[in-house]
Amino acid sequence: MQSQHESNTHDTDTESPAALELSDVVIVERVLAGEVELFRILVDRYQRPVYRLGFRFFRAVEDVEDYVQDVFLKAYLRLSQFCRRGRFYSWLMRIAYTHGIDRSGRKKSLVTTEYLDSPDPRQGTEETALRSLAREELRAAVADLPQPAGACVDLFFFFELTHKEVSRIVGIRVNTVKSHICRAKRRLRERLANTQAEAYYEV
Amino acid sequence: MKCEQAMEAILRLDNGAEPDATTQGHLSNCPRCRAEYSQLRRALDGLTKSLENASDVSAPDDLHRRKQVADRIMSAVRAEAERVAARQTDSGSQLRRQTAPASQNLAGGTGWIAYSTWISVGVLLLLGIIVLPYTEGFLFLRGVMERDLDAPLALTLGLVMSGYWALFIGTHIADLRRRLRRLHRAFSRA
């Protein structure tokens, strides 16, 4: 049993194209069957969003790194509890969100931090301008809203989770989540309309 | 369908969902709503992607750091997998397997005994040794040996307690180091 486990642990090539194309569910099943090294693919795939969420709870990079490590190890330890019907990503984000609240001692609140925007190759296009406007407005919405409404908006727009997934993560009803998000979208819509009107008058 | 109704349906759309047939019908007939929908979509599509490309960490060796974190995660995962494998082959540890929930062993290796258990056992041990000189058995021993036993007792107390806490620190070294590092950072910031 042990020798088989060990050979699996060290022989799996996680950087081969075939391994990189594996779906999350297949990887989870193979990790549970003993191919521990394949877990690395899941770490590489989802490290960034967990990192970003970490910055909502902690300011120091070292704290965020410890947090990311804990979240993935927790996920590994609970891998057998992963229900294959849902997305692995949303299951992981649930662990990450709960762990963030437990570790940082904050109750259902997220600290929003400013991101450093990367230079976009299509900088100056209307697309980029629209997107940065949306980002700015939604960030302001997250900051203005009381919790857990702010967390709902944050997770929906900046982490691409669905209404149902956000509801499961934050622990509030789907309809409440929907109305928080709808309100944020309405706010964004108004902002977009105003900007358009301003641009019209400037011309 | 009126424009406001169509917009309301659009605002209630989930991530990755498309408008229903009625709303689609309205959009194909109403250029104003169509323009607004397309603008909203362009503003929101790829919002996460643009953030993923952005750097959350100001350090230039961002990618390198992420790789290091991934390496750390994998070595912790490997250690855990080996621990589980060793436990499975160890037939004499039936009881330990039952009493050791895997979820308790987090990064930093807190071991399978909780902090509270370690501390309470330590305190009980200490109290036991302190109370010992006042017990009947000890008084009897003192009477038989006809000499003061304070020095050997203090020596035993010291040895037992040092051994116990050394064992505790040894089994929790990674976690304790992390906690100390965090404490140090907190102090240096303040």
ipTM: 0.75
The answer to whether residue A161 is domain-embedded is yes
CA distance A153 to chain B (A): 12
Predicted local confidence at residue A76, as pLDDT: 92
Note whether B142 and B188 are same-domain residues.
yes
CA distance B46 to chain A (A): 8
Residues of B in contact with A82 (CB under 8 A): none
pLDDT tens digits, A138-186: 888 888 888 788 889 888 988 889 999 999 998 899 999 999 999 888 8
Residue of A nearest to B107 (CA): A70
| Triad A110, A113, A117: Cα angle to 5° | 140
Q: Do B76 and A73 touch (CB under 8 A)?
A: yes
Predicted local confidence at residue B48, as pLDDT: 67
pLDDT greater than 70 at residue A56: yes
The answer to whether residue A144 is domain-embedded is yes
Predicted local confidence at residue A69, as pLDDT: 92
Q: Do A159 and B48 touch (CB under 8 A)?
A: yes
pLDDT greater than 80 at residue A4: no
Separation of alpha carbons B73 and B136, rounded Å:
55
Q: Do B56 and A186 touch (CB under 8 A)?
A: no
For B72-82, b/e burial (b = at least 16 CB within 10 A) is bbbebbeebbe
CA distance A117 to chain B (A): 5
Domain span holding position A145: 120-203
pLDDT tens digits, B71-116: 999 999 898 888 888 877 765 555 444 444 444 444 334 455 677 8
pLDDT greater than 90 at residue B180: no
Predicted local confidence at residue A199, as pLDDT: 60
pLDDT tens digits, B14-70: 888 888 888 888 988 888 888 888 888 888 886 766 665 554 444 445 778 888 889
Predicted local confidence at residue A89, as pLDDT: 92
Residues of B in contact with A122 (CB under 8 A): none
Residue A53 tokens read as 């969420």
Chain mean pLDDT for chain A: 79
Which residue in A118, A158, A185 is closest to B55 by CB distance? A118
The answer to whether residue A192 is domain-embedded is yes
| DSSP-derived 3-state class of residue B146 | coil
Predicted local confidence at residue A142, as pLDDT: 82
Q: Do B12 and A51 touch (CB under 8 A)?
A: no
The CATH number covering residue A132 comes to: 1.10.10.10
Residues of A in contact with B46 (CB under 8 A): 131
Instruction: Report the residue count for chain B.
Output: 190
Domain span holding position B118: 106-190
Note whether B189 and B146 are same-domain residues.
yes
CA distance A49 to chain B (A): 8
pLDDT greater than 90 at residue A92: yes
Give B66-125 as a DSSP string: HHHHHHHHHHHHHHHHHHHHHHHH-GGGHHHHHH--GGG--TTT--SS-HHHHHHHHHHH
- What contacts 24+ positions apart, CB below 8 Å, involve A5-13? A5/A34, A5/B81, A5/B85, A6/B85, A8/A33, A8/A34, A8/A35, A8/A36, A8/A37, A9/A34, A9/A35, A9/A36, A9/A37, A9/B78, A9/B81, A10/A37, A12/A37, A12/A38
Question: Using an 8 Å Cβ cutoff, are B76 and A134 in contact?
Answer: no
Residues of B in contact with A63 (CB under 8 A): 182, 185
Please report which confidence band the pLDDT of residue A197 belongs to, taking 50, 70 and 90 as the band edges.
low
Question: Using an 8 Å Cβ cutoff, are A177 and A152 in contact?
Answer: yes
Predicted local confidence at residue A14, as pLDDT: 62
The answer to whether residue A69 is domain-embedded is no
Residues of B in contact with A163 (CB under 8 A): 14-15
Note whether B154 and B174 are same-domain residues.
yes
Note whether B78 and B110 are same-domain residues.
no
Residues of A in contact with B102 (CB under 8 A): 77
CA distance A154 to chain B (A): 11
Using only the alpha carbons of chain A, give its radius of gyration.
20
Number of independent structural domains in chain B: 3
Note whether B185 and B121 are same-domain residues.
yes
CA distance B22 to chain A (A): 19
What percentage of chain A carries pLDDT values higher than 90? 18
The answer to whether residue A53 is domain-embedded is no
Separation of alpha carbons B153 and B133, rounded Å:
8
pTM (2 d.p.): 0.65
Predicted local confidence at residue A202, as pLDDT: 53
Number of independent structural domains in chain A: 1
Predicted local confidence at residue B106, as pLDDT: 43
B19 preceded by a cis bond (ω within 30 of 0): no
Residue A48 tokens read as 């960034």
Residues of A in contact with B57 (CB under 8 A): 51, 61, 64
The answer to whether residue A177 is domain-embedded is yes
Please report which confidence band the pLDDT of residue A123 belongs to, taking 50, 70 and 90 as the band edges.
low
**What's the rounded mean pLDDT across residues B149-160?**
84
Residue B57 tokens read as 């960490």
Q: Which amino acid is at B25?
A: G
Note whether B8 and B22 are same-domain residues.
yes
Torsion (CA) B117, B122, B123, B127 in degrees, nearest 10: 140
**What's the rounded mean pLDDT across residues B170-182?**
82
Question: Using an 8 Å Cβ cutoff, are A39 and A27 in contact?
Answer: yes
The answer to whether A191 faces chain B, any CB pair under 8 Å, is no
Which residue in A44, A48, A156 is closest to B52 by CB distance? A48
